[in-house]
Structure 1
Amino acid sequence: MFKSVIQRLTLPSEVASDKQQLGWQIRTVRKSGQTIKGILFYLTILSLSFVFMYPLLYMVSKSLMRPQDIADATIRWIPKEFSLINYSIAMQEINFWRGLLNSTIISFGSAVLQVLSCSLVGYGFARYRFPGQAFWMALVVFTFLVPPQTIVVPLFTFFLDLGWVNTHLPFIVPSALGHGLKGALFVLIFVQFYRRLPSVFEEAARIDGAGAFRTYWTIMFPLAKPAMLVVFLFSVVWHWNDLFQPNMYLLVPEYFNLAQNMALFNGNANLEFQQATQNISASSAIGLAPTLQNQIMAAAVLTLLPVLILYMFTQRYFVESVERSGIAGE
């Protein structure tokens, strides 16, 4: 009898301890699962990041190598001695400062004008109804789908008759008119963004007596900052890296951008080889040969550097703008 009473008294405490132990085990399993998921997630991100970062790391590594480091099979990533002579030679060969000025005029000038013009066109398509709207929107999409290579001959003839060849006008003027490189895509981005804005802003402006253009310029346009940043960065990068259209309209080296100068880069391997081997013995120089690989990589880094610096300062706002502009899909 006493044993049964004791068992009844001790049973609840044992059950409680078992529940606590079981709860602790469940929490441990959950934490372990979350930890494993986190490790797998970061391993996947690091692996994908390395795939995209590998070319850039390779360029930077090779651009800092001397000819003897390039010829040394034991050196893969880190040279025995870092050298900046490749950048000095590359800057001279690609006419860096002149090319940088031309690239800046074409890229940033076109980007600013495309933000202003494409925003206005996109606002008209998104917020107003007018005769033939579907037809004109179809034409906008059509200009985006047509490859520029198919119309380059009539465009070149047209710009040649206007006297715009060997000037920046073939890039600036179309951008100011809501077109230019990828202009149709930028119009569609603004159309998508303006359609998501509530109509109460325009109604309030009409009550206050504002007209259509004033409503757009003072109220709707400032609200489109996320879309403006996306369009601006896309336009800058695409104009900066474009080589097809500049080769068609810019035929004088004075107007070449960095991409064109990079494409025509021939380097000076003999100069670098002489400077690199002047302080080593003749026996150490045996087997070495002039190489352009490190100079080409230095020129590529110089060409990409302005865009990378721009993205470093704007990547946070760019990611936020992509999410808010609606181009990522919903």
Structure 2
Amino acid sequence: MLRLSKLRYAIVGREADKGLVYKLFLYLILIDAAYIYLKPVLHMVTTMVKNGADLLDPSVNWIPRVLYLGNLQEAWRWLEYPKAFGISLLLSCTVALFQTFSCAVAGYAFARLKVPFKPVLFFFLLIAFIVPLQLTILPNLIFARVVGVLDTVIPIIVPALFGLGLKGALFVIIYRQFFSTQPKELEEAARIDGASVYRVFYRVMMPLAKPAILVVFLFSFVWTWNDFYLPSMYLTNAETPPLSLGISRIASMLREQAEISGPSIFTEPISMATTFLMILPPIVLYAFAQRWFVEGVERTGIVE
């Protein structure tokens, strides 16, 4: 009887989340979720390194017989990767830095300062978060053309300096959530020592906001890096477009070649290679910042 009880506890567990059945079910869910996310990436990597013989051989599915880097070199040449990478990096880093700072100021004001009509302003902030970007792009395009900054990165960078831009309202909400959870005694002690509002923000609150800063910076960087819509609106005639726009141009070139000379077996591998070159920098960035990013998400309350 005692052995049966031990066996039952080992299989089911004394608690619902301690038994073998629960752990097997949990690992099954995790493996399925990982497979769903990793399968496209694995398919992309294995396809872009196949040569013509492996592409035509139906028995070669996941593991190619020969490691062929010609597709990757072709995608590198078509993308003009060093220039496009530099433009994407400059654009993403600048927007991320501007939004990280400006949204922190706005989030602190919404969380801590007594601002006239603050509920009304926060309501407008929520509207800016809800309204799709496509509804406001036309007047922004007209203004950029009148000012003479079309086909430059200025219309994408300048809004980020004022807490706007891609997902700016969300970043303000993240900072507001974080600053709202900090004890008020820290600010009161700083003000007793004679610190002004600006000094309290820079010397007290910002050092505590490192998790929120990291989350906002990574979100802003990745979303700007992957964004196709704004570059397609503002940088249509740019000589060297960012990577997100360059991939679209290569896809159009491949379609035109297919219409002229017929379909090619290298169309898919080259498309996969361009996509791989596009997503590689964010993957490397996340690989180094994963631990701090997860900690920041937990501490800023995004998961709530």
Is it true that 1:112 corresponds to 2:101 in the alignment?
no
Deviation at 1:221, TM superposition (A): 0.9
* Counterpart for residue 9 of structure 1: none
Question: Superposed, which structure 2 residues align to 1:1-330 within 5 Å?
Answer: 22-33=1-12, 34-265=19-250, 266=253, 290-329=265-304
* Counterpart for residue 260 of structure 2: none
Contact residue 45 and residue 276 of structure 2 kept, 8 A: yes
SS at match of 2:182: coil
* Counterpart for residue 16 of structure 2: none
Computed over aligned residues only, the root mean square deviation of the Cα atoms, in angstroms, reads: 1.8
Task: Write the letter of the residue equivalent to 1:323.
Answer: E
CA distance in 1, matches of 2:98, 2:192: 31
Q: Percent identity?
A: 36
Contact residue 181 and residue 239 of structure 1 kept, 8 A: yes
Contact residue 166 and residue 255 of structure 1 kept, 8 A: no
- CA deviation profile, 1:71-127 (whole Å, cap 9, x unmatched): 111111111111111111100011111111111111111011100000000000100
Contact residue 89 and residue 267 of structure 1 kept, 8 A: no
Deviates more, 1:67-76 or 1:89-98: 67-76
Deviation at 1:142, TM superposition (A): 0.8
* Counterpart for residue 17 of structure 1: none
Deviation at 1:24, TM superposition (A): 3.9
**Structure 2, gaps ≥5 residues long:** 13-18, 258-262
CA distance in 1, matches of 2:81, 2:74: 10
Deviation at 1:255, TM superposition (A): 4.2
Deviates more, 1:312-321 or 1:248-257: 248-257
Contact residue 62 and residue 297 of structure 1 kept, 8 A: yes
Paired residues, what number? 291
Query: What's the TM-score, normalizing by structure 1?
Result: 0.85
Contact residue 125 and residue 191 of structure 1 kept, 8 A: yes
SS at match of 1:77: coil
Contact residue 108 and residue 175 of structure 2 kept, 8 A: yes
Task: Write the letter of the residue equivalent to 1:95.
Answer: E
Task: Write the letter of the residue equivalent to 1:142.
Answer: I
CA distance in 1, matches of 2:218, 2:264: 42
- CA deviation profile, 1:27-52 (whole Å, cap 9, x unmatched): 22211221222122112100111001
- CA deviation profile, 1:212-271 (whole Å, cap 9, x unmatched): 001000110111111111111111111111111101111234341001101111369x9x
Task: Write the letter of the residue equivalent to 2:236.
Answer: L
Contact residue 86 and residue 298 of structure 1 kept, 8 A: yes
Deviation at 1:290, TM superposition (A): 4.3
Structure 1 stretches (4+) deviating beyond 2 angstroms?
A: 22-25, 251-255, 288-291
Task: Write the letter of the residue equivalent to 2:109.
Answer: G
Query: What's the TM-score, normalizing by structure 2?
Result: 0.92
Contact residue 93 and residue 267 of structure 1 kept, 8 A: no
Task: Write the letter of the residue equivalent to 2:11.
Answer: S
Deviation at 1:289, TM superposition (A): 5.5
